[in-house]
Amino acid sequence: MTATDTSTPVVPDFGDDDDSDRKICFICSKGNLDMAYPALIMANGALGEGIETHIFFTFWGMDMVNKATVDDLKFTPVGNAAMHMPPGMGKLSEKHMPQILGGLPGMTGMATKMLKKQIADLEVPEVHEFLELLSEMGANLWACKMSVDMMGLEREDLIDEVDDIINVSEFMDISEGAQMIFV
Residue partners of 7: CB distance under 8 A and separation at least 6: none
CA contacts within 13 A on the Cβ side of 136: 6
What does the DSSP 8-state code read for residue 8?
Answer: S
6 binds another protein per the rule CB under 8 A: yes
1 binds another protein per the rule CB under 8 A: yes
8 binds another protein per the rule CB under 8 A: yes
* Sheet arrangement for strand 23-28: 164-166, 140-144, 52-57, 23-28, 179-182
Task: Note the residue count of the chain.
Answer: 183
What residues pair up with 180 in beta bridges, in sequence order?
25
21 binds another protein per the rule CB under 8 A: no
Q: Which of residues 85-144 bind another protein (CB under 8 A)?
A: 122-125, 133, 136-138
169 binds another protein per the rule CB under 8 A: no
Nearer to another protein, 6 or 169 (CB): 6
160 binds another protein per the rule CB under 8 A: no
- Sites of contact with another protein (CB under 8 A): 1-12, 14-16, 41, 44-45, 48-50, 122-125, 133, 136-138
